Chain A
């Protein structure tokens, strides 16, 4: 056990505890979105036709592009962690920069996607929606709520990655001390995990 001494040289630092804490937080997030997925499944089970018709309003190409963007950004974060472990700070910063750029692109796509929906009166409470069935309203309420909550998570993830990027630049995140980068990375992968289920459930399934 004494070999651990070098690993925990700083008494005020416990990377394992920090990481377990991050995982526990991620589990609460999974259950939060998990609950919403159950709500979606139950409403879809009760309004199959309305959900089928409503889902055709969503653009599969945009959803697909956004999926690929998130997958690539997840990979760049994972590689950034390998880079910091190899003490390659420049590479780490480049990869985090690419990740942030991809995250921003995702949000821009989302902005245009949502904008088009609002233009076509496809939001809960619009005049068009009032004439459609209850199922359509439910579908679009869930669509806006779940993708909206996901977008909030993207923004939080971006803030965490920006802080990590600055700290890599300052040298407070380095090859023997990168728990913050690792935990921000875990959060970013969570955002990816959620989207992996959001994409087929809202865009593809009929």
Chain B
């Protein structure tokens, strides 16, 4: 069968996303209550990462300072998105939307800097 090519069809994601909403509301009924303790653990991790950012940027690593700070900030926003904003426990559709937006934003950054770095 040609089912292997199924993913190439453009309208499929829309159909898929609809089915994602439908099928996952079932699992949403099994309400996921995050224990207080887990949120505290995430909070402590975030604070440790913040201290780490301050520590790393206080020593001179040349251009790697910026890179290190941005990498740690990215880890922090992933933690906030996944745990505090419940993306990890919610329906898949929210995760897909978030990833799409981050891809669009990355594309804009890349295109802008392709322009500026090559002038």
- A residues at B contact (CB < 8 Å): 1, 3-4, 6-7, 16, 19-20, 23-24, 27, 30-31, 34, 38, 41-42, 45-46, 60, 64, 67-68, 71-72, 74-75, 77-79, 81-83, 85-86, 185-186, 189, 192-193, 196-197, 199-201, 204-206
- Determine the chain A residues whose CB is within 8 A of the CB of B113 once the complex forms: 41
- Determine the chain A residues whose CB is within 8 A of the CB of B98 once the complex forms: 23, 27
- Determine the chain A residues whose CB is within 8 A of the CB of B47 once the complex forms: 68, 71
Those of B77-104 within 8 Å (CB) of chain A = 77, 80-81, 83-86, 90-91, 93-94, 97-98, 101, 104
Tell me if B's interface is mostly helix, strand, loop or mixed.
helix
Whether A200 contacts B109 by the Cβ 8 Å rule is: no
Whether A78 contacts B39 by the Cβ 8 Å rule is: yes
The complex places the Cα of A86 from the Cα of B31 at a distance, in Å, of 10
Mind listing 29 A-B residue pairs with CB under 8 Å? A1-B26, A3-B29, A7-B29, A16-B28, A16-B91, A24-B97, A41-B109, A41-B113, A71-B47, A74-B84, A75-B40, A75-B84, A78-B34, A78-B42, A81-B86, A82-B33, A83-B36, A85-B33, A189-B81, A189-B84, A192-B80, A193-B77, A197-B73, A200-B53, A200-B57, A200-B70, A200-B72, A200-B73, A205-B65
Interface size class of B (residues with CB under 8 A): 35 or more
Nearest residue (CB) in B for A31 is B105
Instruction: List 9 tightest A-B contacts by C-beta distance, closest first.
Output: A75-B43, A200-B69, A204-B57, A78-B84, A27-B101, A85-B33, A78-B39, A71-B46, A189-B85
From residue A135, how far is it (CB to closest CB) to chain B in Å?
A: 16
- Determine the chain A residues whose CB is within 8 A of the CB of B42 once the complex forms: 75, 78
Whether A186 contacts B85 by the Cβ 8 Å rule is: yes
Those of B46-73 within 8 Å (CB) of chain A = 46-47, 50, 53-54, 57, 65-66, 69-70, 72-73
A-B pairs under 8 A by CB, number: 118
The complex places the Cα of A193 from the Cα of B105 at a distance, in Å, of 15
